[in-house]
Structures are given as C-alpha cells and as structure tokens.
Structure 1
Amino acid sequence: MTTTTSNASSLDGYLGHFEEMKSVHTHEMLKLNDIGQALARCKKDLEATQEKSKEDETSWRSRFRSLRGEITNDMKQEHTQRIVQRELAEEYRALIDELELDQQSAMLNCCTSGKNYINAYNTAFVAYADSQWNAAMRSLSPTLVRAIKLKRMALSISGLGNENQPGYIEPETAIKQLLGGKLTHAAESAVIDIKGEPVLEKIGLHRPALTGVDMNVFGLGLAGKMKLGAELRAKREALGKGRK
C-alpha cells in the first residue's frame, strides 16, 4: 500500500511538472507570436511609408521644376512632410532591427522551454506507463499464471534438447520468449482510447508538437545555445551603440 501511494504521489508530481512546463512554453510562444506579428506589421508599414515617400518625392520634384524653382507654401508643407516620411522610414528600420533581435531571442527561449516541455512529457508518460504496468502485474490472472507454470513444466520434459547439446534452450528462457512474443504481438493491435483516462487526456498519447519552433535552434546543444545567446547580446549592444 505504501509503495502504491508513493508511486501515485510521484506520478502526481510529474504531472504537475508537465503542466507547469506546458504553461511556461505556451507563455513563451505567445511572446514569440506577438513579436512576429509586430515585426510583420512594421515591415508592412515601412513598405507603405517608403512607397508614399517615393510618390511624394516624384510629385514634389515635378512641381518644383514646372514652377521653375518657385516654392509655394503648399510645397513647403509638402517638403516638411517628405522629411517626416524619410525620418519615419528610418525609425521603422531601426525598430525592425530591434524586433528581429527580439524575435531571435524569443525563439531561443521557446526552444529552451520546448525542450523542458518535451522532457516533462517524457518523464510523465514513462511514469504513467510504469504505473499501469505495475498495476497489471499485481492483478495478473491466476488462470494465466497457472498456465505459465504448467507450460514451463511441459517444456522441461518435451524435447527441448539435452543441455549439453547445441541449440538447447532452458525452460525459463523458452517460456519468456513464448510469452513475450504473444504479448508483444497482442500489444501491436491494441487500441488505446484516451477518453476516460485522466492522465492521458491531460498529457496526450504522443509527444507534444512544437509548432512554430525553429527545430534547427531546438537541436542545438547547451554550448550552441549559449553561443547563439552571446551573439544576440553582442548584436544588440552594437545596435544600441550605433543609435547613440
């Protein structure tokens, strides 16, 4: 009873950790998606600003030439607007540079949280599978156990060969092979319906999909991720110095 209670407590702990890591990863992915949306919007706005600036530049120069250099009040206002458009475009470019670094940093965080999420899933699933296995072993059918014993006895007298001859198989080994083969074959066609199974409904039957995660970055080892993080910090520092 104590062992069963301890196993259940351990499984609860693994499930709690899984939920925590899932929540952390979801939060990191939301931040990554927010940055991605902001970056896409800024790039679109920059493109529109550049197009508007180009149109205004062409129009202003055309009018300037047609008036032989005479600048009206309207043209002065348009000239000011042209300067504003150019400055706005520069601000968008600067913001895009920052957002791209933010995006790369956020992706690195998502890869870390994703790794923790997957590891937590693996641990929880293995613990659950072990608990199910142990429960099944504790409740083995007496009929099956009796049949195994009889089969082992039968194998010991039914011509497995002399133990001194090549190809001899001990009854213990033979019964393990027979039983293992039968159970493995039966398991291949077994259907697991997670409905009504609280643990599997919570963690799922398969490893969580890390949609939106850069798997190249995800696959980096600790040293690779540390190197990438250092590179991003250096780029951010250089970007900050360039703006002063």
Structure 2
Amino acid sequence: MYRFLTTPRWWGINIFVALAIPFCVFMGTWQLGRFEDRVDSHQEAERRPEPGAVKAAPLERLLPVDKETSGRHATATGRYGEQFLVPGRRLDGKDGAYVLTLLHTEGGKSLPVVRGWLPSGGRAPVPPAGEVTVTGALQASEHTGSPGVRATGALPRGQVGMISAASLVNVVEDDVYDAWVTLPTSPAGLTPVPAAAAEGSGLDLKAFQNLGYTGEWFVFAGFVLFMWFRLFRREAEQARDEALGLAPEADAMAGAGR
C-alpha cells in the first residue's frame, strides 16, 4: 500500500525532509543560544560596578576595547589637534553633531576625543592649547550599523560619518587609536555625550530578534513535517482507493458528469 514511498519522487521528498528538519532545529537552537548569551552578558554587566565608580586607568591598559573595558574611564595626555564634526547625532530628541577633537599623544598616535554634543546651527568651541590630560569613558570604534550612526552620504571637509580609525585614516597624518573617549564634562555650548553600552551586552532589539528568529525556525521545522504528513496521507488515500478499485470508478463518474 505504501509502495509509493519507494518512487524517485518520494525519495527526493524524504531526503529533503530529513535534511530540512535538523537544519531548522539547529538554526533555532543557535538563535536561542545567541539570545541566552545576551541575557547572560546583560546580567553580568548589571553585577559589575558602574564604569565611573572604577578608578581611571591609562589608555594603553584598557586596549583593546571589549565588554569589560567599554565605558571604563581612561586617561591620556597630549595636545589637541584637528577637530571634526560628526553629524546626524541625536541627543534628548534633538538633532546635532558630536564635536570630535584628536588628541596627539606622546606615543605618536592620536586619540579621538568627543568633547560634547553640538546642537544644529551651533559653533564648536576651539580646543584648549598646550598639553592636556583627558579622562573620559572609553568606547569601541564605530562601524556601519552601530547605534546612533546614520547614513550621511558624502560629507564636506571637516566632517566625518563615524568615529573610527578607518574613517579618520584618510584625513589625518597620524595613526589613530581604534577607540575613542567621551568626556564627562564639556565646555560651554556643548553637552556631554553619555557613554553607550558595549554592543551585544544588553537586552536590546537585536536580542529579542534572536528570540523571534528562534520561534521562526521551529515553526519552519513544524511546517515541513506537517506538509510531509499531508502529502503522505493524500498519497496513501489514493493508493487505498486504487487498491479497492474506487479510483477508476471515480474517474468514470467524473467523465459521465462532463
């Protein structure tokens, strides 16, 4: 009765189902693991002391930036140099730009320092002259898709789209640290930029997307199994009708009805 299962068509269907269901289960389990990792990272971050409560450390000791050092207060000494605006940044629901000034350190590399947020139409204050020591919250370099980064297209001279060594390498001569700091206090006319949490350490929209994808993959697995049983039942009923001689009679009646 079930000899149809040995036909080439059903061999193909069975092989597809045998591969599709484990794949969907694997992908769903992987997405669930991603969500659980984010939950664990979030809980671990909540247990850690506030970055500002930990004593500031020299910049070099905190590099490279990771989930442990992101937000920690780092200190660096040097002289301010080139200054840029990073447009398309919102703060408290208002449009503006970050004021980014490069600090040329004694080691020969430049540290991007966000001295504050400038509202649209404002004028960025001139950085102080001479040697300065800055202390600010350490942040990882931005990339396309980072929170707060907007597509700005071609920018005029004196502006950069992202705060990263890759975006600054073509506009400055010095090597640039693959990190930046935001100052807790800003000069007149600017508003301090709060430090952002390290990517992947919070229960943000992406975390719940992982949970949603988990459900989708398990639904896909169930759908594949449902369709297999539906096709199997239809083929089995057709085979039973043929064995009982009902199928030809049905065809004859259909022909008479025409």
Bigger Rg, which one: 1
More helix by share: 1
* Structure of higher RCO (CA pairs closer than 8 Å, 6+ residues apart): 1
More strand by share: 2
Fold shared per TM-score above 0.5: no
**TM-score (norm. length: structure 2):** 0.32
**TM-score (norm. length: structure 1):** 0.34
